[in-house]
Amino acid sequence: MSDITNEIKKRRTFAIISHPDAGKTTLTEKFLLYGGAINQAGSVKGKATAKHAVSDWMEIEKERGISVTSSVLQFNYDDYCINILDTPGHQDFSEDTYRTLMAADSAVMVIDASKGVEAQTRKLFKVCVMRHIPIFTFINKMDREAKDTFDLLDDIEKELGIATCPVNWPIGSGKNFKGVYDRHENKVELFSDTKKGTSQGEMKVVDMNNPELDWLIGTEAKVTLEEEIELMDGAAAEFDQELVSKGELSPVFFGSALTNFGVETFLQHFLKMTSSPLSRMSDKGEIDPMKEKDFSAFVFKIQANMNKAHRDRIAFMRICSGAFEAGMEVYHIQGGKNVRLSQPQQMMASERKMVEEAYGGDIIGIFDPGIFSIGDTLTTSKERFVYEGIPTFAPEHFARVRQVDTMKRKQFIKGINQIAQEGAIQIFQEYNTGMEEIIVGVVGVLQFDVLKYRLENEYNVEIRMENLPYEHIRWIENEEIDLDKIVGTSDMKKIKDLKERPLLLFSHEWSIRMTLERNEGLKLSEFGR
């Protein structure tokens, strides 16, 4: 048992979140560089011949330079085994980010120093706050012109309602970026524009009281730094590990992922301030990985067709306790039967390696013959339990989808069902007409582009989409109500989900209130179960 406990103690599992273009993918690559997992960082954007970022594997992601799906990367650093969950930055994929955060123990929030917290990503960051997981902030791109440092911290506190504690402090920005001051050590780490693709940057560290510092950073910069330190000591929150662990205080670091400055410092501090895998809530109470010796895991993501050569589906699961061995048999709670976990793999983006063993805190991908769903629990424990569910977001955009070639009906139904099982889209059918008319609901409109692209490229099915004017969806809680007798408004539409449960779509919020008033006893819910 002690061997398993030691392995679990080494694990750190975190998600990286940010808005698009804040440099999240570049930061991820630099982490991999330090762990020796890759030899050269690939730039995310650039010509078609350029090496694409390791964590962006889907063709549409390469074309647009945005991450659409979450990828999982594992590497070793010092004596730690680190699992990074890279998430889509765009708010249109916030549901995928939410599910990924369910599998993480902490989050790293990357913020562009010139922009601060951007409106479209409040939703993503709020998700972290909702989960009460530790949030670490890396303010990136200090080698470019940045907003005032105090304004940046103020921005985080106001927008996200979380206190900040700067671990280091930037000296200038853009062309005048001289480095960072380490508050704890009372030393200055000097910035030199390192070779962009390598991890070996020369780092010069000078004591704050060293007279050399005046000419190394300039007298003006030193005077400003001293004033800012004084201000910060009076205004910033004190570092408190307990508040960090509760997700109420975010340690803040400054640097530049592109030039590799401040990345390793950040990684070292981060590993000290985070804990090994945490307990998870189940219907039988908390499952503590340090006490529970049986294997248990839950599925948080399903991804089809990651490998063009094999039309496959991978179920990603977070191991919560115990040890995993390739080919082991486990009990699938929702399926009610034993299953063998075959072809287990870990991802290095689209590079896969087969896994012989894994431990609590690790993320593994398992071949899915179509039996797993998001939120499923798997365990070898004789005492059956279910990990707490992963909520689905209510879609906000709807479209009627038809295949262009009627002869391809079979591929169309198969493709749209498989993509729906991944959780990126939700499928509904017209009330009374069955699957003849398919209505697709998404959280963000970009999901429609991804759906169209994937159906064409992976299933060879061309589709036409007709946008529908609805923005609100409600499940009917009291299913004994006769749908035919519901008196609605002119902008209400009756539909069913794949489990034949009745739903109502509305264009306006006031219509929901009117419908409830007109139908006594009707109960509507924003979430499907």
How far apart, in Å, do the first and last CA atoms of the chain sit? 38
Q: Which helix (H) or strand (E) holds 504?
A: strand 502-506
With a cut of 70, say whether residue 60 has pLDDT above it. Answer: no
Which residues are 310's β-sheet partners? 307
At 307 the pLDDT is 56
Q: How far apart are CA 462 and CA 455, in angstroms?
A: 7
Give me the mean pLDDT over the 23-49 stretch.
61
SS3 of 234, please?
Answer: helix
Q: Give the range among 92-106, 221-235, 390-404 with minimum mean pLDDT.
A: 92-106
Instruction: Give me the pLDDT at residue 431, please.
Output: 82
Q: Give 46's pLDDT tier (boundaries 50, 70, 90).
A: very low
The DSSP bridge partners found for residue 286 are: 281
Are 92 and 5 contacting, i.e. CB atoms less than 8 angstroms apart? no
Q: Which uninterrupted H or E stretch holds 11?
A: strand 11-18
Q: Residue 305 — pLDDT band, cuts 50, 70, 90?
A: low
Gap between the Cα atoms of 23 and 140, Å rounded: 7
Bridge partners (DSSP) listed for residue 109? 17, 137
Distance of CA 432 to the CA centre of its chain: 38
Query: Helix axis angle, 409-421 relative to 446-459, nearest 10°?
Result: 130
Residue 274: both structure tokens together: 């985070």
E strand or H helix that includes residue 381: none
Give 202's pLDDT tier (boundaries 50, 70, 90): low
Q: Which pTM does this prediction carry?
A: 0.77
- pLDDT on residue 91: 56
Q: Are 103 and 13 in contact (CB under 8 A)?
A: yes
Cα separation, 307 vs 363, whole angstroms: 19
Two tokens, residue 293: 């010796």
119 burial type by CB count under 10 A (0-12 exposed, 13-18 middle, 19+ buried): exposed
Q: Is the pLDDT of residue 268 over 70?
A: yes
Residue ranges and CATH numbers for the domains of the chain are 12-70+105-273 (3.40.50.300), 280-379 (2.40.30.10), 397-525 (3.30.70.3280)
User: Which bin fits 305, alpha (ψ -120 to 50), beta or left (φ > 0)?
Assistant: left
Q: Which position has the token pair 């569910």?
A: 389
Question: What's the token pair of residue 124?
Answer: 């993503």
pLDDT band at 85 (very low <50, low <70, confident <90, very high): confident
Supply 15's token pair.
């998600």
Pairing of strands 106-112, 135-140: parallel
36, 38, 41, 37: which is closest to 52 by C-alpha? 41
Who's near 86: CB < 8 A, 6+ residues apart? Answer: 15, 16, 24, 25, 28, 55, 67, 70, 71, 72, 73
Question: Out of 223-227, 298-302, 379-383, 444-448, which region has the weakest mean confidence (pLDDT)?
Answer: 444-448
**What does the pLDDT look like over 137-182, one tens digit per residue?**
999 999 999 999 999 999 999 888 889 999 999 999 999 999 999 9
Q: Tell me which residue of 439, 516, 511, 448 sits closest to 477, measured CA to CA.
A: 516
| Averaged pLDDT score across all residues of the chain | 83
Tens-place pLDDT, residues 7-16: 999 999 998 8
Place of tokens 């990345």: 263
> Bigger pLDDT: 299 or 159?
299
Contact indicator for 310, 320 with CB cutoff of 8 Å: no
The predicted pLDDT at position 67 comes to 42
Average the pLDDT over 60-68 and give the result: 47
**Cβ contact 366:315 at 8 Å:** yes
Q: What mean pLDDT comes out for the span 433-447?
A: 78
Structure tokens at 53: 């970022």
Selection from 19-28, 364-373, 512-521 with the highest mean pLDDT? 512-521
Q: What is the pLDDT of residue 197?
A: 47
* Residue entry with tokens 């899915």: 368
Helices and strands (DSSP H and E) totals, the chain:
13, 31
Spatial CA neighbour of 236 closest among 168, 145, 284, 179: 168
Closest of 305, 258, 296, 302 to residue 277, by C-alpha: 296
What are the Cα distances from residue 316, in Å, to 25, 260, 335? 20, 31, 17
